[in-house]
Amino acid sequence: MQASRNDFPGRLRQYLKLSGRKMPEQLTKELDATRNLRHAIVHNALRITFAESGKAHRAADTGRWIYNWLENSPLRRDVREKRVRMRTLGRHQKLYDAEISPTGVVVCKPPFK
């Protein structure tokens, strides 16, 4: 276990081999994209702008889909997926513009006020 503790791809390969399951190709692509985004954030200090926030939400969704697939329990998947739309309500709305200035963060008045 210790040798594979930080080797997620190796552990996933081992799981697939032992379980006899094959991860769907599209899910594998999503996993790779999510891991690449995570790597850029953690190791290259990538900062996601509001305009790119969809990437972060997609990564969170991908993590949930992969967890559902790995757990392989329709009952637990249904519980986890229940009301997902309600949890995301308003996620794409931007109420305030903000900018970083030499004196700090400046929050601008919303255009509708």
pLDDT digits (tens, 9 = 90+) for 46-56: 888 878 888 88
Domain that holds residue 51: 2-107
Say if 84 falls within a structural domain.
yes
pLDDT at 81: 83
- Does the pTM exceed 0.75? no
pLDDT at 111: 64
The domain total for the chain is 1
Say if 112 falls within a structural domain.
no
Say if 77 falls within a structural domain.
yes
Mean pLDDT of 31-57: 88
Say if 82 falls within a structural domain.
yes
Say if 113 falls within a structural domain.
no
Say if 32 falls within a structural domain.
yes
All residues at 6 or more sequence positions from 34 whose CB lies less than 8 Å from its CB, including other chains: 58, 59, 62, 63
